[in-house]
Amino acid sequence: MRTKRFMLAAVCALLFFCDSAGPLTAGPDSGRLDLPPVSNAVLANGIRLFYVPDDLPQITIIVTVGYGRLYEKRETAGLSDLLASTMSLGGSTGYPGATLHEAIDSMGGRLSVSASWESVTISIRVLERFREEAFAIAADIAARPNIEQVYLDNASGLVIDSIKRKYDNPFELAFEKAREIIFEGQGYGAVPTEEKIRSYSRALVQDAWKTHFAGRNMMIGVSSSIDFSEAERLCRKHFSGIHPGAPVRYETDNGKIREQVNRVRGKVFLYRKDIPQSTVVVGTVAPDIRNPGVLSLDLMNYILGGGSFSSRLMEDIRVKRGMAYAVQSVCRPRYRTGVFLAYAQTENRQAGEVLGLLVGNIERMAQEPVAGRELTWAQGAISNAFVFRFDTPMEILSNYLEIAYNELPEDYYKTYLGRLNRVSAGEIASESAQLLKPGLVMLVVGHPSVEADLKRFGEVVIIE
């Protein structure tokens, strides 16, 4: 069985919007990108279909619903992953258990059911001549998942194994602990545990499926050599029976999150682990994707630590001082909230110094405008790489759908480069100051011996 944990990751954050795809071209204005339109339709039950043609004789069907880790609370952390794993193992009433995977194998196809931050996604890819079977299988999994206790128990074991493996990865563990503190265990900070996963009942998992796998909360993306009219016909034939339900969006309060970050500023959180090197992380809540300052923060992050070997963190901490094995920053805005994190991995004896360098470089972004050459470099680098976000049919479809899910203007990506290149150094400093206003959460996963050196930054709080 060729089953991938997730196929076409770019479609993970999908959920709504968008006529036949043509070539990707630059508009008359160098700051504008002319994207191929995507064909779309809406079923009577609210399901939205999006289609982009593909020259290959294949069909890829993506069924995605608005549900994922950002929808979870402390009490339900890991539930979306458990649901996805149960659906993958149990199949559907029409294709239960191994029958599902045997059917996919017989077509030489690929199947995955997975959860991400903002979606649970069913993905099927087969040869074009098996399109009828593929639509039937995808619809049956979405409408009639086989959530039997035996499959739920097996799925629980898989999710628990992934939780245990996380504790062997200091990098992943540090990011999770930092998010948990920033978001107080909710949404971005909801952390699944073995005890929680074992406590989730079959009724709870079924309720999560029933609430979220509804027409108005579902999108279907199709990329294929078949034409749009055939894709629409098959979609209506197999998916019209799904109940309409209602769209579901996660709730968050960024003001409250900023207050939480401010409450813990001046503290250093230490997760003690007997390892030869420390992972140092600092971070805070970032604005949502519709915030007008997001492009300024994109550039800030690229200059700070997202721009590979030319970024400030890489140059200062690794190249100049040789103090880090890895160093980077990330700023990820999403529908209702976002997160900013910077990290470095270093020897335990250097953890305190590296923490100071991380914080100092980040604060400098708000204290003084970036140099003109840095701004020009970052704008040029992002602009030059931008077109590669649209180099496959599914990536084109994904970006259109992301626009709709996030309720952005339809021309968001078409005008992205022009808007990016109009951002000034002053705007970057201003938005950085706003980002850092509540302070930074500081966290280290490292050997107990690092505690003494960390005290120069404030109270050291031991966490588990």
Helix, strand counts (H, E) of the chain: 17, 14
Look at residue 168 and tell me if it is in a domain. Answer: yes
Q: Do residues 248 and 212 touch, judged by C-beta distance below 8 A? A: yes
DSSP label at 69?
A: G
Run of H or E including 361: helix 351-367
Nearest to 47 by CA among 70, 69, 36, 63: 63
Look at residue 182 and tell me if it is in a domain. Answer: yes
Residue 8 has, within 13 A of its CA and on its CB side, a CA count of 30
Q: pLDDT digit of tens for each residue in the chain (464 aa)?
A: 444 333 333 333 333 333 333 444 444 344 566 777 789 999 999 999 999 999 899 999 999 999 999 999 999 999 999 999 999 999 999 999 999 999 999 999 999 999 999 999 999 999 999 999 999 999 999 999 999 999 999 999 999 999 999 999 999 999 999 999 999 999 999 999 999 999 999 999 999 999 999 999 999 999 999 999 999 999 999 999 999 999 999 999 999 999 999 999 999 999 999 999 999 999 999 999 999 999 999 999 999 999 878 999 999 999 999 999 899 999 999 999 999 999 999 999 999 999 999 999 999 999 999 999 999 999 999 999 998 988 888 888 888 878 888 889 988 998 999 999 999 999 999 999 999 999 999 999 999 999 999 999 999 999 99
Q: Is 25 helix (H, G, I), strand (E, B) or coil?
A: strand
Within this chain, do residues 292 and 398 fall inside the same structural domain, yes or no?
A: yes
Within this chain, do residues 199 and 321 fall inside the same structural domain, yes or no?
A: no
Nearest to 441 by CA among 463, 421, 425: 463
Q: Is the pTM of this model over 0.95?
A: no
Token digits for 154? 């097996």
Other Cβ atoms within 10 Å of 297 Cβ, number: 26
Nearest to 51 by CA among 65, 35, 37, 64: 37
Look at residue 63 and tell me if it is in a domain. Answer: yes
Within this chain, do residues 188 and 87 fall inside the same structural domain, yes or no?
A: yes
The residue with tokens 């030489």 is 108
Other Cβ atoms within 10 Å of 366 Cβ, number: 17
Within this chain, do residues 210 and 317 fall inside the same structural domain, yes or no?
A: no
CATH number at residue 404: 3.30.830.10
Token digits for 223? 């990329």
Look at residue 352 and tell me if it is in a domain. Answer: yes
Structural domain of 304: 254-463
Look at residue 245 and tell me if it is in a domain. Answer: no
Q: Do residues 352 and 447 touch, judged by C-beta distance below 8 A? A: no
